[in-house]
Amino acid sequence: MSASLHSPPSSALSSSSSLQETRLSFIVRSARPNFNFKSHRSFPQIRASTGFSSSLDTGSITELDSVSRYSEIVPDTVIFDDFERFPPTAATVSSSLLLGICSLPDTMFRSAVDTALADSECYGPAGPDVRMSCFVNKALVNIGGELAKLVPGRVSTEVDARLAYDTHGIVRKVHDLLKLYHGIDVPPERLLFKIPSTWQGIEASRVLESEGIQTHLTFVYSFGQAAAAAQAGASVIQIFVGRIRDWARNHSGDPEIEAALRRGEDPGLALVTKAYNYIHKYGHKSKLMAAAVRNKQDIFNLLGVDYIITPLKILQSLKDSITPPDDKYSFAGRLSPQSATAYNFSDEELVKWDQYSFASAMGPAAEELLTAGLDGYVNQARRVEELFGKIWPPPNV
């Protein structure tokens, strides 16, 4: 993704992992810029001034318009009923989305799934596992192709999380998906491939980016992950602000988080700030996406980051909040390429990251949160396969 989602090719996305609320991340053209845990710790709130957002008919400025000057807003959008309120410019296709589509037979995307399950290319002599993998690949790509017709930006396709520790497996899977996209005339510049930020996933990103294939590294919870991903040339790096905060409220013993707390900083926001400054100070091409924001204050504190995935409730609140004329210029970007130059990094943070230094830098928060994220994705992938096994072949085939 880019500082503006429209250059490089508008991109972005992220889908939430809830089956009951199958969500798809979209970029809102007009917009830029909460695990509720029992709090065992409190974090300082850095107040950003209230700003702008546009109310089209009155000429007044809303907070949504104001934050949109600094960051591209990525709505965490329910695919089936939110196109009107927040028109998307980019999207993600995932196992979670497949489950949601299959639970709603009348959706416009259901035929893309049925077509995949009816594809004779998957019927060969190979065993059931290979056939099922073929069906899932076809379904993801068929839906991704439909989404590419609906949005002007990039479509991010989730790579099977069961390959998270297999560099060659990830590369092969992306090549397979890309070949299918080529078959339906979706060009590579319209695509991202969403890969977990294990060391093997980051190495796969390095290989793919060297081939001109754009990658979207997710489940980033530590500076080592973010820096290694930037060195690999990942197009998009996604950090989950709220999940890091939630972990810190209920756990202790992570050196990176403890250091942020000693500085009086929110650990999730601190990681985004550090990663952003690293990327810009040292000239990496990656764009940074902040996810799992919990409230408007998080948005204000992240202004300047390339993308912010924003729940619809927060988006609506920003849209409904009018900024008084005297305050319309009072928002300020907290992150910028200029301010990044003044940020100081330790020698240990400026290493050329390898598997050993990467593993050494992964604290308990990153390890636990990465594992939890992978477990969720793997569970969804298995549920998709179980569901496809029950409905294959489609009734009209």
Q: Residue 233 has which token pair?
A: 């040339």
Find out whether 319 and 64 touch, Cβ atoms under 8 Å. Answer: yes
Residue-wise over 288-313: b if at least 16 C-beta within 10 A, else e? bbbbbbbebbbbbbbbbbbbbbbbbe
Paired residues of 77 in beta bridges: 24
Query: What is the pairing mode between strands 91-93 and 307-311?
Result: unpaired
Q: Crossing angle for the helix pair 128-150 and 167-183, nearest 10 degrees?
A: 60
Of the listed 149, 173, 179, 194, which one is catalytic?
194
Q: Catalytic annotation on 194?
A: yes
Q: Which two tokens stand for residue 173?
A: 């899977």
What is the length of the chain? 397
* DSSP per position, 91-160: EEE-HHHHHHHHH-TTSTTHHHHHHHHT-GGG-SSS-HHHHHHHHHHHHHHHHHHHHHHH-SS-EEEEPP
Contact present, 154 and 192 (Cβ < 8 Å): yes
Cis before 44? omega within 30? no
Calculate the CA 32 to chain-centre distance. Answer: 15
Residue with tokens 């709505």: 75
The tokens of 20 are what?
């009951």
CB atoms near residue 97 (< 10 Å):
26
Cα–Cα distance measured from residue 287 to residue 280, given in angstroms and rounded to the nearest whole number: 9
What is 322-375 written as a DSSP string?
EEPGGGTT----S--HHHHTT----TGGGS---HHHHHHH--HHHHHHHHHHHH
Tokens at 331, concatenated: 């928002």
Catalytic sites, residue numbers: 194
